[in-house]
Structure 1
């Protein structure tokens, strides 16, 4: 249990999947449609990072900071010295702040929001960082192919329109045998809020509009990574549950995190009576015994390697020397 002002956070981990590469694609294809309004997302992130000189957004860093701590454990398990590390969608540097000075010679932070990138001073980092404002969907326009030893991404990929294309670009900028380590929100994230808003809109307005962004299903992540050309894949899941006094504190924190709705065809206004109904439904369906309400963040962690002739290869089928029945 992790305590935060007015909130409590609980984490449950479980291993989800491990897979090998499938039919890698050779180049990113342009997105055929746009789910998210990237300009709106930029404005949301800028606003959140600028509030009260960044103090408001620092108060709601608890989810990203916890996920970054989980990611750094995975990163430190890789016993290798790296020259260059790319922190994609870094925000204010939740992951890069945890890097020891010996982890990489060069760390580059990229983010859509220049305000978020420069929210915190260099003294918060042990490593020397270069900060660049870059749209995560246009990675190859800024970063050279085969130039990075490591690419990490902490909770930004759920806002890109073409996730397969971005994964391919990430593979392209990695050197052979380079590693990609990422965390992104999964499909069950904020299911309590989603269902409450949907039921409230059905009751008060007679229809449903998208209020919580669609997210990748955990079952698809291994396939997406394999199709993008990564090998030696590992995917696992954490569920982070934060307890709030009411739905209003949850919505306020999401706004201050820069995680407000940015769906392209979203409705910009939600009626107050619909919100009041959603609050009542949320409490009726999900409230704890003490009257507080939980919010679940499903986090998918993934690790993949760019192919290299030096990597371990699976043995050919039928080459085993022992029967599995004898081992069990």
Structure 2
């Protein structure tokens, strides 16, 4: 772990995730289903098995079920950051902080993470923890919210707050860009790192429906320097009005942009493909292109 700045209040993230579990509204967690389906599709392209898998994140068991249903893993452990509820029960097999995974080095074959790494104070450190937990030639698949996600809501909230209070409190969490994620995977020691993104445009009846869904997902403002206390109803109402004015479609529904950044990488192993050393190529580029080499 490094001395990374404390951007997020991890206790708040855990408490909100726990409340999301307690509310039990899987119909409002469809984004988790989208991510789980994407992970399952990516696993389907890998022609090998992963005896022990760890599925981190999500207010439902969709991710763990997707891995189990893929037939690629014999044992799937569901893990998350949330703590047990008042009755001592929680639906996960393991309660973990993905910034400090309590796993022995080289102890699992597959790690999948869904919609949780965007709240890591030390994302490079979290990726290192995951890579260390993987056995050689183990696979990591992760999806996090990044890019310009929820830019419409952020603009509306900022405009409403400036209008009503004359200032803006910290509400905008830094979001990773796909162009940086491949470098972070390589820095963490993954082999064959890949990062790509999928930009979704979701539509809601009103901005309040979007806000409710974020609440159900436990995805509210968790910045450490956020303004404490309940958000004033007047601010929420005015933000909803501005949102509807600026981001409505002709049918009256409002748009919300979500960018999902997908990551994959392998724990290094001697069997993996490696780039050729400079000067060891056996075929000239000019021959491959069927052209004449011009010497300068």
Q: Are residues 1:46 and 2:18 paired? A: yes
CA distance in 2, matches of 1:136, 1:225: 15
Instruction: Report SS of the residue matched to 1:240.
Output: strand
**Deviates further, 271-280 or 305-314:** 271-280
Which residue number corresponds to residue 326 of structure 1? 289
Give deviations 1:37-85, integer Å, cap 9, x for gaps: 111111111112112xx2x2x1212001011101110011110022111
* CA RMSD between the two structures: 2.2
Q: 1:265 to 1:312 in 2, by over 3 A?
A: same
Which residue number corresponds to residue 19 of structure 1? none
Which residue number corresponds to residue 289 of structure 1? 250
Shift of 1:214: 2.1
Kindly name which structure, 1 or 2, has the bigger radius of gyration based on alpha carbons: 2
Equivalent positions of 1:1-328 (< 5 A) are 29-51=1-23, 54=24, 56=25, 58-98=26-66, 99-100=68-69, 102-114=71-83, 131-139=93-101, 142-268=102-228, 269-318=230-279, 319=281, 321-323=283-285, 326=289
Q: Number of residue pairs matched?
A: 285
Higher relative contact order (CA 8 A, sep 6+): 1
Check conservation: 2:15, 2:83, Cα contact below 8 A. no
Which residue number corresponds to residue 294 of structure 2? none
Which residue number corresponds to residue 23 of structure 1? none
**Deviates further, 226-235 or 263-272:** 263-272
Q: Of Structure 1 and Structure 2, which has the larger fraction of its residues in strand? A: 1
Q: 1:41 to 1:91 in 2, by over 3 A?
A: same
TM-score for the superposition, normalised by structure 2:
0.89
Check conservation: 1:112, 1:136, Cα contact below 8 A. yes
Which residue number corresponds to residue 7 of structure 1? none
**Deviates further, 178-187 or 82-91:** 82-91
Shift of 1:144: 0.8
CA distance in 2, matches of 1:321, 1:177: 30
Q: 1:202 to 1:313 in 2, by over 3 A?
A: same
Which residue number corresponds to residue 24 of structure 1? none
Check conservation: 2:29, 2:213, Cα contact below 8 A. no
Q: 1:271 to 1:90 in 2, by over 3 A?
A: closer
Instruction: Report SS of the residue matched to 2:213.
Output: helix
* Structure 2 unmatched ranges of 5 or more: 292-296
